[in-house]
Amino acid sequence: MGVQKKTRKFAQMKRTIKAHDERLKKAATKKETPKEDQLTRQITQAPSNMFFAANTALGPPYHVLVDTNFVSHAIRAKQDMLTSMMDLLYAKCIPTFSDCTIAELEKLGDKYRLALRVAKDPRWARLKCSHKGTYADDCIVDRVTKHRIYIVATNDQDLCRRLRKIPAGILGLTTALHLQSHLPATQTILLVARDFSHGPESLNYASAWAGAHFRPIPTSNPQLTQEGTQAQRTYTYFTRLAAQEPGSGVQSLPGIEYLESPPAEYLNAENIQTAYGYLDGFQQLQGEELPEGVKWGVKYSTFAVNPPVYCAWLLRQFVLRGGETMEYSVVDLREGFYLAEDVRTVVNCTGLGMGVMRGFLLLGVRQTCLVRNPCSVTITRQNGDGSWSFCIPRPLGGGTIVGGTKEPHNWDPNPSLETRAKLLDNAAKWFPFEEGSEGKFDVIRDIVGRRPAREGGMRIEAEKLSDGRGVIVHAYGAGGRGFELSWGIAEDVFNLMRENGLVKEKASL
């Protein structure tokens, strides 16, 4: 019986198909060639806060989102969570737990009671969750997708795979942050924007790629007088920010202006004192201090801003203080009253949006160049033909902006090589090149950005809706001066809202 079984099995083995049998070879498949008009590949554009090779939204103190598994593993390994994080990142860290993570630990029962006690440590930050469901992984992925300001601590391989697949203008960000710091706990802010600093680059969202520096303008009309007071208040804030928050992307450095054909307002001593007198180190240049051909010049202490870093820093501060955001394209400002519960006030800091459709704005296009050539000073130069040139270094190794042009009503989204050549030729005459550069610019990219400006100047006013739904507070139309007026405008918006009884100030202790 046993012999028969072995024989039968041996015969079955002999009948199997051999590895080199022709029947096992795959039939040759014909390669399809894509059609000429067929798009063969789509590449997702990198977010603007992923500036060059780094995420500019990350900066110490690092806020580390901790999941359930990480707490449990840290206890098993007998590791102090905070000490280990700081040893790894060489900076201050703030372990952060969401309501969903705490709820998940509570559901796991007595086995995770020690992990729950660690997660509820009062030293850690706590994130409130307003969404439905309490699945911690979904909560973490949602937060990291919306705001690239967190480091995630996890041992979950599935969560790691999900995280690896994750692909507001300056006035709106600044105003939201300023209002947030002055409102009581009973009033909250929802920041709604079509584009955020963590989103893809867009020529209609110019804040992230602006040539941002602080440069006063002598008063020649009531609008510039108002902008002068807003600029002065912003200068005071930047002074404090550069000293206390170097990671914000704001840096103090010398500023120089040379004018070959100065307008009349630059020749009025009173105007100059009003516009420049409050600046640290202000000095008007005379005689041999001026380059050949220059008739007017000043130097002072100013500020340069790295826009991607700074916008990400503002958004990070807003979110970490409990602010909520929503990516949404608003068609009509009245939509804002329906995007959350019990909305009584909508603050309109739109750029290309409501104002353009209603004819309030004069649209301008400005082309600049981002170059690798370093520079330690901002230089603004008026050429003999009346055109302007400037160079603005970007702090934290962000290159240098060389510009620029203003072309109202030019809707062409493409950069012009002819314009680039003209900009660089003008700047090459006075740019402080380093040795070895051979007096040439190393261009990284051309930048085209639309800066909406209002014909009558900035609009800051409250508009009560006829249906009694609420009040719209307008604050838009700064053109290319958004960064240097931002904190002054934010203060004016808050004061206007307070005068109209729209906000309640925090109680002072």
Distance, in Å, from the CA atom of 443 to the CA atom of 403, rounded to the nearest integer, reads 12
Backbone angles phi, psi at 489, to 5 degrees: -65, -40
Strand, helix or coil for residue 500: coil
- Third-level CATH fold of 170-500: D-Amino Acid Oxidase; Chain A, domain 2 (3.30.9)
Res 252: pLDDT: 92
Neighbours of 411 (CB within 10 A): 8
Pairing of strands 93-98, 62-66: parallel
User: Which residues, including other chains, have CB under 8 Å from residue 252's CB and lie 6 or more apart?
Assistant: 238, 239, 242, 243, 301, 302, 303
Strand, helix or coil for residue 365: strand
- E strands in 260-336: 283-284, 296-305, 324-327
Spatial CA neighbour of 99 closest among 71, 72, 127: 127
56: tokens are 């500019």
Q: Say yes or no to pLDDT of 356 above 50.
A: no
Res 256: pLDDT: 92
In sign, the C-alpha dihedral spanning 99, 105, 107, 110 is: negative
Pairing of strands 400-403, 388-393: antiparallel
Res 465: pLDDT: 85
490: tokens are 């934010």
Q: pTM of the entire structure?
A: 0.68
154: tokens are 């996890």
Element (H, E) at 238: helix 222-244
Spatial CA neighbour of 61 closest among 364, 414, 347, 320: 320
Q: Are the CB atoms for 346 and 493 separated by under 8 Å?
A: no
Res 224: pLDDT: 81
9: tokens are 């099995």
Res 302: pLDDT: 92
30: tokens are 């014909």
| Tokens 């030019």, located at residue | 410
Q: Say yes or no to pLDDT of 166 above 60.
A: no
Radius of gyration of the chain (CA): 29
pLDDT-based confidence at residue 55 (cuts at 50, 70, 90): low
358: tokens are 């209603």
Strand, helix or coil for residue 312: helix
Which of 54-58, 183-187, 242-246 tops mean pLDDT?
242-246
One-letter amino acid for residue 361 of the chain: L
Res 106: pLDDT: 87
Distances (CA, A) of 16 to 5, 10, 12, 509: 17, 10, 7, 89
pLDDT digits (tens, 9 = 90+) for 453-505: 777 677 888 888 887 788 888 888 777 788 888 889 899 988 888 888 887 76
Neighbours of 326 (CB within 10 A): 12
The domain made up of 56-163 is a member of CATH 2.60.120.380: no
Domain ranges of the chain: 56-163, 170-500
297: tokens are 């010049």
Spatial CA neighbour of 504 closest among 185, 223, 73, 138: 185
Distance, in Å, from the CA atom of 463 to the CA atom of 204, rounded to the nearest integer, reads 26
Strand, helix or coil for residue 265: helix
pLDDT digits (tens, 9 = 90+) for 292-301: 888 999 999 9
pLDDT digits (tens, 9 = 90+) for 70-85: 888 888 888 888 888 8
